[in-house]
């Protein structure tokens, strides 16, 4: 790059970040948009997959920054989304099991209900009920920090956080919400979640057109190259092509509404692929995801970024880009903006109970190598799971294995017990089928990653060693969900002050025309009111029942 061009580039970058941080009062703060998709590794055409056509997502990559080393913390949605909304490791806070209950219905259950007939038990054999994870009092959904700064936050329409989404976390979270409802002049944070690439769509969309030739799809080394495998991979890719069209429609909508070029757009998947040995896996196939960030005005357009990024970095990065310094307690690290932190050296992953199946694995990746520690090596790598066996190829492969008809790499993932340690060189073995843990040439790398994993587990006090039934008792003493205390209302002259005795509780309130609606403003400072104006308030802490409503 010529010296003059380099100077111009640096000046542009400085001016962009300066305006993003909200320090230039003459400019309207930038909006932030998340395009969240399901169950998808980096298999898009912009990531080099020649058998799939995703022109709209490619457009985002061409106009933005493509991250090649982005990873989830867990290879399944609920624990992963917990890490995204809290910016914390699930295994640190006891949110690592999939899943703790139905927490996408925006209700506050009165009492715990045991799933006696589902056979969900922990390692000690105790029955596991529906419950909510209770986080430490200092942990907040990162969106509350955005709301404090005047951002209108709307989620359309998935949470699945291992706890019911607090009503203080979002301005609108009921489904079908729009950024168009933001108050005049207010910036917005908008999450649009698409389900089209979800695991379940392999069978739910089985009668939809196939747009990808099964003969052209790449077959991972851990599958046999047979028609049913190619068919389901083609279905997966065809679903992604439909998803791409949905993304294109959203981009056109944003353009038509005049917000496209005043918004930072993040595109990401909640974890890796949706087929066998992908979803729920703790290695690269389960954790590796696409991540694209498009800035307005062509900032770093078309660049590729190889730094290691965790999905729990997304929240702190949004905060950093709009001028908020993320709190120190967060495990997530901002990878852009005023408060960008140094790049990660390692990514850590976990796998524990998935529905009715229990295992325990931990992993660490450095961008080239992945190390996996199996804490229950006596169990097979591919365990029976009723949900995923609705995918035709999964069920068929299990049957082939039972008949001893799988050979070579296609038999690898059906090992009847696991080695204590696994080590894979992703550069030379992208499908993770050649375990190098016993190869003396890689002893140094094995020891390095083993040490890093052990230090991480100690640093976070890995809750995977605690039976889930004991975790629940720590969250809900006597197996009863704790309740948030009522809000205290104090009226002083023209202002109303709100407080709650429950440590860590957030307070929402309704005033004037909002009274009686589903909309709750986030309380941060005393509220100015008119004489005799009615106010309603309630409080909630993550994992607690919401308080009853207090009125003046």
* CA separation for the pair 29, 45 (Å, rounded): 33
Looking at the DSSP bridge assignments, the partners of residue 535 are 511
- Give the helix ranges, DSSP H, for 307-440: 314-321, 392-402, 409-412
Rounded to a whole number, what is the distance in angstroms from the first to the last CA of the chain?
A: 65
Tokens of 238: 């065809």
CA distances from 170 to 158, 159, 532 (A): 12, 11, 28
Report the b/e string of 294-303 with b at 16+ CB within 10 A: bbbeebbeee
DSSP letters spanning 209-254? PP-S-GGGSPPPTTS---HHHHHHHHHHHHHHHHHHHHHHHHHHHH
Q: Return the half-sphere exposure (C-beta side, CA atoms, 13 A cut-off) of residue 353.
A: 25
77 is catalytic: yes
* CA separation for the pair 338, 335 (Å, rounded): 10
- Give the helix ranges, DSSP H, for 381-477: 392-402, 409-412, 443-460, 468-475
Tokens of 226: 């047979």
* CA separation for the pair 305, 3 (Å, rounded): 22
Tokens of 422: 């696994």
* CA separation for the pair 314, 299 (Å, rounded): 18
Residue 487: which of 507, 503, 467, 463 has the closest Cα? 507
Query: Is 268:314 a contact under the CB 8 Å cutoff?
Result: yes
Tokens of 312: 């729990």
Measured CA angle at 81 (ends 330, 164), to 5 deg: 95
* CA separation for the pair 54, 533 (Å, rounded): 53
Question: Given the structure tokens 């590729």, which residue do they identify?
Answer: 304
* CA 318 remoteness from chain centre: 14
Measured CA angle at 50 (ends 44, 52), to 5 deg: 50
* CA separation for the pair 211, 207 (Å, rounded): 12
Q: H or E segment at 93?
A: helix 90-93
Q: Exactly one of 77, 153, 159, 500 is catalytic; which is it? A: 77
Q: Where are the beta strands (DSSP E) in 295-346?
A: 303-310
Question: Given the structure tokens 């495998």, which residue do they identify?
Answer: 229
* CA separation for the pair 457, 448 (Å, rounded): 14
Taking the CA atoms of residue 24, residue 27, residue 28 and residue 30 in that order, the dihedral angle to the nearest 10 degrees is: -70
| Catalytic center residues | 77
């Amino acid at each position: 790059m010529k010296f003059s061009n380099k100077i111009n580039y640096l000046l542009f970058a400085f001016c962009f970040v300066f305006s993003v941080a909200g320090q230039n009062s003459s400019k309207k703060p930038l909006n932030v948009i998340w395009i969240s998709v399901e169950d998808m590794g980096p298999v898009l055409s912009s990531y080099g997959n020649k058998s799939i056509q995703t022109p709209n997502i490619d457009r985002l990559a061409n106009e933005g920054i493509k991250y090649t080393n982005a990873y989830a913390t867990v290879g399944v949605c609920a624990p992963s989304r917990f890490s995204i909304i809290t910016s914390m490791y699930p295994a640190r806070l006891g949110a690592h099991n999939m899943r703790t209950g139905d927490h996408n219905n925006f209700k506050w259950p009165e009492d715990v209900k045991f799933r006696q007939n589902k056979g969900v038990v922990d390692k000690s054999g105790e029955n596991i009920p529906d419950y909510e994870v209770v986080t430490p009092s200092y942990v907040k959904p990162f969106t509350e920090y955005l709301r404090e700064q005047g951002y209108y936050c709307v989620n359309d329409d998935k949470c699945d956080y291992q706890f019911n989404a607090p009503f203080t976390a979002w301005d609108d979270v009921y489904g079908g919400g729009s950024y168009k409802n933001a108050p005049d002049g207010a910036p917005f944070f908008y999450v649009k979640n698409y389900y089209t690439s979800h695991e379940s769509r392999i069978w739910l969309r089985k009668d939809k057109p196939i747009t990808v030739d099964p003969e052209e799809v790449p077959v991972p080394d851990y599958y046999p190259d047979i028609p049913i495998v190619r068919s389901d991979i083609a279905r997966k890719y065809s679903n992604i092509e439909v998803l791409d069209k949905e993304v294109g429609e959203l981009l056109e909508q944003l353009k038509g509404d005049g917000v496209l070029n005043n918004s930072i757009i993040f595109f990401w998947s909640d974890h890796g692929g949706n087929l066998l040995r992908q979803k729920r896996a703790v290695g690269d196939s389960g954790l590796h995801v696409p991540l694209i960030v498009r800035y307005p005005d062509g900032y770093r357009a078309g660049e590729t970024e190889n730094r290691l990024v965790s999905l729990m970095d997304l929240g702190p990065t949004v905060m950093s880009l709009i001028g908020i310094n993320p709190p120190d307690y967060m495990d997530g690290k901002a990878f852009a903006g005023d408060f960008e932190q140094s790049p990660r050296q390692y990514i850590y992953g976990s796998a524990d109970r998935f529905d009715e199946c229990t295992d325990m694995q931990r992993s660490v990746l450095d961008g080239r190598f992945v190390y996996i520690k199996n804490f229950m090596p006596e169990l097979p790598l591919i365990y029976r799971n009723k949900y995923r066996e609705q995918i035709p190829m999964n069920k068929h492969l299990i049957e082939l294995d039972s008949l001893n008809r799988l050979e070579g790499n296609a038999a690898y993932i059906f090992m009847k017990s696991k080695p204590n340690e696994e080590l894979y060189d992703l550069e030379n073995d992208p499908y993770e089928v050649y375990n190098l843990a016993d190869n003396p040439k890689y002893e140094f790398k094995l020891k390095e990653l083993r040490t890093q994993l052990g230090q991480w587990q100690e640093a976070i006090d890995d809750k995977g060693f605690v039976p889930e039934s004991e975790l629940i008792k720590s969250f809900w003493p006597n197996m009863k969900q704790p309740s948030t205390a009522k809000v205290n209302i104090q009226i002083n002259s023209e202002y109303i002050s709100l407080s709650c005795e429950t440590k860590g509780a957030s307070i929402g309130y309704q005033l004037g025309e909002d009274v009686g609606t589903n909309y709750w403003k986030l309380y941060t400072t005393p509220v100015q009111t008119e004489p005799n104006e009615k106010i309603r308030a309630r409080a909630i802490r993550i994992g607690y029942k919401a308080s009853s409503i207090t009125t003046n």
